[in-house]
């Protein structure tokens, strides 16, 4: 695509007002999403206070069946909402490079939610890809979301603190029972000194079985991190609803 000079793109902005990163409706200059779309992505649902799994409103938020025997070592999962409806559609799109602006908007909304929930990590760490995948895909969704969160929270983004050392199969392609083995020993903390005694925020697009987050948490705590929190755009429920 032709690159526009700064004055030219400014002039085009005057003629073509900024539009919503999701529905293309006109928006105010500093708003990446229109009010309606923002509401769709941020509608609060009743969910488990630990793993963000949707639970019926009548159920106690601390009595989630998924968490009972999970032995999670991270503090909790913060998600914009369950992986369904428009949020699911958006997450499928943001994996494509053409939708980076939407990925950034999703990250900003997640950053706002973290601020609201008073989650205050020292460092932001996206789930890393294996280097062979990095060659094939220039952008990583987790990285784009993490970078937007780091901007909102004004906290450092560490892209190289952790490395994926094993070329794993895509978790979504495997049965839940095979997912922990697929990611076991898949990560390495490259700079343990950097994570030592720090509260780390791991960022990904979706949390479903939790195997990736659990394995990364294990590595980070072993390297001396004090706490780990997980932030994801959506909480996968394992069903297509
Ligand atoms: Zn919109
Ligand atoms: Zn739970």
Dihedral pair phi/psi, residue 124, rounded to 5°: -110, 130
- Compute the residue count for the chain: 241
Across 67-73, average pLDDT: 90
- 26: CA distance to ligand 1 center in Å? 8
Q: Is the pLDDT of residue 240 over 50?
A: no
Assign 61 a pLDDT band (cuts: 50, 70, 90).
confident
Residue 69 Cα, ligand 2 centroid: separation in angstroms? 10
Cα 187 from chain centroid? Answer: 18
Give residue 35 CA to ligand 1 midpoint distance, Å: 7
What is the percent of the chain where pLDDT is above 90? 47
pLDDT band, very low/low/confident/very high, at 174 (cuts 50, 70, 90): confident
Please give the distance, rounded to the nearest whole angstrom, from the Cα atom of residue 54 to the centre of ligand 2.
8
Ligand 2 centroid to residue 58 C-alpha, Å: 15
Domains belonging to the chain, first-starting first, are 48-235 (3.40.50.2020)
The more confident residue out of 87 and 171 is: 87
pLDDT of 136 reads 66
- pLDDT at residue 239, as a whole number: 59
**Listed range (83-92, 151-160, 172-181, 216-225) with the worst mean pLDDT:** 172-181
Mean pLDDT of the chain: 86
More confident residue, 136 or 49: 49
Q: Which of 11, 33, 17, 3 is nearest to 112 (CA)?
A: 33
How far apart are the CA of 43 and the centre of ligand 1, in A? 14
What residues sit around ligand 2, an ion, with C-beta below 5 angstroms?
A: 48, 50-51, 53, 64, 66-67
Cα angle, residue 72 at apex, residues 70 and 76 outer, rounded to 5°: 120
All residues at 6 or more sequence positions from 29 whose CB lies less than 8 Å from its CB, including other chains: 18
Condensed to tens digits (0 to 9), the pLDDT of residues 108-165 reads 999 999 999 999 999 999 999 877 776 666 678 999 999 999 999 999 999 888 988 8
Please state which of the ranges 109-113, 169-173, 230-234 shows the lowest mean pLDDT.
169-173
Residue 241 scores a pLDDT above 50: no
Q: Which of 70-74, 160-164, 201-205 has the lowest mean pLDDT?
A: 160-164
11 CB-side CA count, 13 A: 5
pLDDT(197) > 60: yes
| Confidence class for position 220, pLDDT limits 50, 70, 90 | very high
Average pLDDT over residues 174-197: 86
Residues 124 and 150 sit within 8 Å (Cβ to Cβ)? yes
pTM (2 decimals)? 0.87
């Amino acid at each position: 695509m032709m690159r526009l000079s700064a004055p030219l793109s400014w002039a085009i902005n005057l003629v073509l007002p900024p539009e919503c990163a999701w529905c293309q409706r006109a928006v105010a200059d500093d708003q990446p999403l229109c009010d309606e779309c923002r509401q769709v992505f941020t509608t609060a649902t009743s969910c488990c206070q630990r793993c963000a799994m949707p639970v019926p409103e009548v159920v106690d938020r601390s009595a989630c069946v998924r968490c009972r025997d999970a032995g999670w070592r991270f503090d909790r999962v913060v998600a914009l909402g369950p992986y369904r409806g428009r949020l699911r559609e958006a997450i499928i799109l943001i994996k494509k490079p053409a939708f980076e602006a939407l990925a950034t908007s999703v990250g900003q909304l997640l950053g706002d939610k973290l601020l609201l929930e008073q989650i205050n990590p020292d460092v932001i760490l996206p789930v890393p890809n294996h280097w062979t995948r990095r060659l094939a895909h220039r952008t990583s969704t987790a990285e784009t979301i993490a970078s937007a969160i780091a901007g909102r929270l004004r906290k450092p983004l560490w892209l190289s603190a952790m490395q994926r050392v094993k070329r794993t199969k895509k978790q979504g392609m495997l049965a839940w029972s095979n997912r922990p083995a697929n990611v076991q020993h898949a990560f390495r903390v490259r700079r343990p000194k950097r994570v030592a005694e720090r509260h780390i925020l791991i960022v990904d697009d979706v949390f479903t079985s939790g195997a990736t987050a659990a394995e990364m948490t294990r590595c980070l705590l072993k390297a001396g991190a004090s706490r780990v929190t997980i932030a994801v755009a959506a909480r996968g429920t394992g069903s297509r609803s």
